[in-house]
Structure 1
Amino acid sequence: MKLNVGGFDRILRIVVGLILIGLAITGTIGWWGFIGVVPLLTGVFRFCPAYGIFGINTCPMKKP
């Protein structure tokens, strides 16, 4: 599994995922808020299958 999520993208995914899950737990937005698990996991593991399909990579390139 090649890392393809990095930097600001990663932080944003984790924050949005936690907010959606928190709102779902409190009953503010309903059960559909648990979809926040998807951005949370893609941020934590730094891999997004959709990015792989479309050839997107936001990870910084390592310099030799």
Structure 2
Amino acid sequence: MTKNVGGIDRMLRVVIGLTLIALAATGTVGWWGWLGVVPLLTAAVGWCPPYSLLGWNTCATKTAPSKTTP
């Protein structure tokens, strides 16, 4: 699995996941709030299956330094 979830994307997933879980735990939303576990897991692993299917990647790609010959 190649990582396809970048830094900002990861932070948003953690915030959204924790918010949903907190709302479910306090009874503000129904059982579906426990689905907040999914964004937490994808943030922890750094890989999102739908991103792979759609060819999306929010990771910053590192480019190799170019070598010039004298």
Structure richer in helix, relative to its length: 1
Structure 1: 5+ residue stretches without partners: none
Identity across the alignment (%): 59
- Counterpart of 1:28, as a letter, is T
2: CA distance, partners of 1:36 / 1:11: 13
Q: Name the counterpart of 1:29.
A: 29
2: CA distance, partners of 1:45 / 1:56: 16
Q: Name the counterpart of 1:53.
A: 53
After superposition, what is the alpha-carbon deviation per residue over 1:4-45, rounded to whole angstroms, capped at 9, x for unaligned?
A: 001211100111001000110111101110111111111111
Number of matched residues?
A: 64
Q: Name the counterpart of 2:6.
A: 6
TM-score norm. by structure 1 comes to: 0.94
2: CA distance, partners of 1:62 / 1:15: 26
User: Runs ≥4 in structure 1, deviation > 6 angstroms?
Assistant: none
Give the superposed CA RMSD. 0.8
TM-score norm. by structure 2 comes to: 0.86
- Counterpart of 1:3, as a letter, is K
